[in-house]
Homo-oligomer: A and B are copies of this chain.
């Protein structure tokens, strides 16, 4: 009745301007102020720990304030930002490349480790061991220019599909982690990938998928050599390991490529253990997080016994030192963006 009276009293246009518009405005303001920055994370200790860390570090009046230029954060990729089962996705890429190149190499039909891949015989492939894997990597990742390799990776991603989900591999990224990356960046943190994967396998798509530009991707690499081709300089990819960015290599990679110790590090396996230790050993507020794969239904469940992404020693240290452990099943409302 009061509303009706007011409407009559003010007239329709004036009523809208004076009473309705301000309410809409207030609603938007409240919505923005209280918007959940991590909507795919269930409420609980894990989510609270993340938000508390960001508030402590980014709030200028906080006694533990960290200036923006020091807000370096590092993320493992395989198993932390996207899936890594049943094998690292870069493995699927290498196998597909062997199959694509096979017509030019008839001898591969009788030669391991190529024979095993062409016959989809994973047991025979495993028997070729590290030497076999190294030969596959070098055959598929070297012998072309950096620009040619970038195109090969992009073309593969545009068509290849994950066998379980029948979707492009770049769909198998974790929605809660995408939200976390965006939340950190919104609060002045710089987000880096520090992965055991090949740096030039990740750079062609990391910006589009994660919002992480090429210069913030640190990874394993093979050697490059400058050559002139038709009067134009090109960088040739050589079949020789340059740097392995895994385990004890991660703090080395961080120092080499970033030159600052991170304030927060995110991983999921023992390959990230030293990165988390290195991060924890710095002064001031620190945040160390492990993604624990506990959800066989929506993704995969694995830890101490897994040949891919084994999480054993790092999990013990996380429990002992109070690092944050994400229970994927419990902490994540959604896993993938689809």
List B contacts of A199 (CB < 8 A): 256, 259
**A233 beta carbon closer than 8 Å to chain B:** yes
Q: A69-B213, A233-B251, A251-B235 are in contact. Are A224 and B256 (CB under 8 A)?
A: yes
- 8 A-B pairs with least C-beta separation: A214-B259, A226-B248, A224-B252, A215-B258, A203-B259, A226-B251, A233-B278, A233-B277
How many A residues are at the interface, by size bracket? 20 to 34
User: Could you give, for residues 219-242 of chain A, a 1 whenever the CB lies within 8 Å of some chain B CB and a 0 otherwise?
Assistant: 001001110000011010000001
**Residues in A lying within 8 Å of B, measured CB to CB:** 69, 72, 146, 190, 199-200, 203, 207, 213-215, 217, 221, 224-226, 232-233, 235, 242, 248-249, 251-252, 255-260, 274, 277-278, 281
Q: A252 is contacted by which of B225, B248, B274, B277 (Cβ under 8 Å)?
A: B225
List B contacts of A190 (CB < 8 A): 215
A233 to B281, Cβ gap below 8 A? yes
A117 to chain B, nearest CB (A): 29
Q: A259 is contacted by which of B215, B255, B281 (Cβ under 8 Å)?
A: B215
Q: A281 is contacted by which of B213, B217, B232, B255 (Cβ under 8 Å)?
A: B232
A262 to chain B, nearest CB (A): 11
A36 CA / B242 CA spacing, docked (Å): 46
A173 to chain B, nearest CB (A): 20
A252 to B226, Cβ gap below 8 A? yes
